[in-house]
Structure 1
């Protein structure tokens, strides 16, 4: 049985917002590994808009890789879409290329396409950086935007909920305008995690993140930046990958998350990945009923 207390607590903490960003995570490559073109990104935006719920925003994983922003931003503007952009932080040359790609997009197109910017993704979970360095990079990207017409654009970081509740990472929370949390009950294989516990485990992870964030930097919003349930892949303890389980997880978790705050589902389409979290098949047809 799902527990409503977690969702109700989040609703209370988010009361006052008139609208929320809701969308999907979208990768920059296609089934054959080639990079998405502007036309491909436009197809993604138009596909999302046609789904039940009329999604208009997406999260991308990088700025320079596969010319993501160079192709996705004009696609967003042509279709009325918006992008939660990302800046990859590992390797200084890569990081500098990411900042340059973001700057180029802002200078050329302004910021009306830009939801916010996530600096790094699960770097703390993978222990690829220090909290101090990541906080510095968040501030660097914010200063870059502020100096180039992007004042007021929120800049934060995306990581697993387990990284956010680690006291070693409080410097990152302090640097963030928003905190993006990723939570996957499917992968919580040291706990009882069948699909009928998915709702509880997910909202527990969000609430745990919010509790820490509110202690460290009160008033900072926690966004759901990744969650989902796979239709194919290995069994993780009691979590079974299947289409019926995705349907249940979507109906219980997605439909509550989209109503209670900014949320980006993982993922729109992921082709032959294993485990496969995409809600669309390779022909861009929904695997499940996406109505809420």
Structure 2
């Protein structure tokens, strides 16, 4: 595969201990629904750094909600963590607030803490916008941050089914990187088939990206297996299966692509994908990679 200039720069910026970003998705809310303070973000980042993989990369979903960047960026700078930034795109007022929060964070702290910027998350999958509108928002955010001296890539995160849809080619063209969310659980896969199902989605996305805009990296921005919740066909949510999925998928991804695991904490959802429980301890063994 021919790598883009952005991909080469991103790889060059990584620590010598790893060729790829290895991270977790981290939400802005605490277990009681309150917004994370700077101290809460610091606690989360230090906990991830304490894992065997020494996680120093995170993906955040938004910029203004819960004062995410205002609180998370100082914590990231203090702990040496880098952020894949999220900019929520839906409704014009929210989108403007998101851009303003990102602009404020860059003005206050520079941009060395940024891994990349994702404009939107699964908007195409949900059918909440058009490829034309979303691609223009990607260009809009890129123009804003480039004017501020930010060189990191600007792209979009969506499901593999959205990426392989020819109606969404404009978003591939607009993006510096392609963020892929893939969950064999939601495809009703047996845990024994999950690896094949996952890599099939990755391969299909890579093929579409290379056909539309050769050289762009496909990042794994969300994947995981639920520790609890309802079964979907042959897909059974359990700690055992989540452990198996980690050892077969996470360990393989860490060696060959950027990956952001879902999720750091996820208390009340059904299904629940959280790796750390309400007691602050890992629900399953994260060693072995």
TM-score band w.r.t. shorter chain: over 0.9
SS, match of residue 268 in structure 1: coil
Look up the match of 2:4: none
CA shift at 1:273, angstroms? 1.8
Look up the match of 2:280: 284
1:166 aligns with 2:154: no
Q: Please, which of 200, 203, 219 is the counterpart of residue 204 of structure 1?
A: 200
Look up the match of 2:239: 243
Runs of 4+ in 1 over 3 A off after TM superposition: 14-18
SS, match of residue 273 in structure 1: coil
Distance 1:15 1:195, change over 3 A: farther
* Counterparts of 1:162 and 1:15, CA distance in 2: 27
Structure 1, unpaired ranges of 5+: 1-8
Look up the match of 1:254: 250
Look up the match of 2:223: 227
* Counterparts of 2:35 and 2:45, CA distance in 1: 16
Matches within 5 A, 1:48-87: 48-87=48-87
Look up the match of 2:259: 263
Matches within 5 A, 1:62-211: 62-150=62-150, 152-189=151-188, 193-211=189-207
Structure 2, unpaired ranges of 5+: 2-6, 12-17
TM-score, scaled to structure 2: 0.93
CA shift at 1:239, angstroms? 0.3
CA shift at 1:15, angstroms? 10
* Counterparts of 2:68 and 2:103, CA distance in 1: 13
CA shift at 1:92, angstroms? 0.2
* Counterparts of 1:183 and 1:146, CA distance in 2: 30
* Counterparts of 1:102 and 1:15, CA distance in 2: 24
Q: How many residues align?
A: 276
Look up the match of 2:269: 273
* Counterparts of 2:236 and 2:267, CA distance in 1: 19
CA shift at 1:274, angstroms? 1.4
Look up the match of 1:29: 29
CA shift at 1:127, angstroms? 0.5
Distance 1:54 1:149, change over 3 A: same
CA shift at 1:272, angstroms? 2.2
Deviation per CA, 1:36-91, whole angstroms, max 9, x where unpaired?
00000001110000011100010011000000000000000000001100000000
TM-score, scaled to structure 1: 0.92
SS, match of residue 197 in structure 1: helix
SS, match of residue 203 in structure 2: helix
RMSD: 1.4
CA shift at 1:167, angstroms? 0.2
Deviation per CA, 1:109-149, whole angstroms, max 9, x where unpaired?
00111000000000000000010010000000000000112
* Counterparts of 1:284 and 1:272, CA distance in 2: 15
Look up the match of 1:3: none
SS, match of residue 125 in structure 2: coil
